[in-house]
Amino acid sequence: MAKPEKVNGVFVLDASVVIKWFSEEEYTDRALKLRDDFSKGDIELVVPDLILYEVSNALRYNPDFDETDVADAVGTLFDIGISIIVPNREVINSALNLAYEHKITVYDAYYVALAKEINFKLITADRKLYLKIKDLKFAKYIDEI
């Protein structure tokens, strides 16, 4: 697989991308590139606070992680200075609309709605989600970056 080129822009990441920062999976190299570009100040990253729970839960069930490892991984999201956005009524209402319109969970729709409302691109590594929202021009699958 070719090494990803430099990424530019402003992005909302969903949990499927951030999980790859801690687990070797397909497209981990691209996910790490996003993190590295953010650390260098080349891009801006935003996540909803929901990601803290989703990443914690996913890593909790990873047999390679104990409680301390999970806490350290989630702490990384705070430590690197990523913008963590709390919910508001406008984004929740948008998420509900998107969930019904695209037949996706409200959890997934919240990431989509946040990107839509703040005019950022959404990056997901969840193929099933992406296939349901690919008509949204701001939604990108991780292999597109």
pLDDT, position 8: 65
Half-sphere exposure of 119 (CA within 13 A, CB side): 0
* DSSP letter, residue 40: T
Q: Find out if CATH 3.30.300.30 is the number for domain 9-144.
A: no
Reading the block at residue 139, the tokens are 């939604």
**Beta strand ranges found along 14-87 (DSSP E):** 43-48, 83-85
> Which sequence spans correspond to the domains of the chain?
9-144
Give tens-digit pLDDT for 57-107. 999 999 999 999 999 999 999 999 999 999 999 999 999 999 999 999 999
Tokens of 54: 């989703």
Q: Which element (helix H / strand E) includes 139?
A: strand 139-141
Q: What's the pLDDT score for residue 4? A: 41
pTM confidence score: 0.92
pLDDT at 1 over 50: no
Between CA 14 and CA 46 the distance in angstroms is 9
What are the start-end ranges of the H helices in the chain? Answer: 15-18, 28-39, 50-60, 67-79, 89-102, 106-118, 127-133
Asked if residue 119 lies in contact with residue 17, where contact means CB atoms within 8 angstroms, the answer is no
Contacts of residue 136, Cβ cutoff 8 Å, sequence gap at least 6? 112, 116, 122
Give me the mean pLDDT over the 97-120 stretch.
98
Mean pLDDT of the chain: 94
Assign 43 to helix, strand or coil. strand
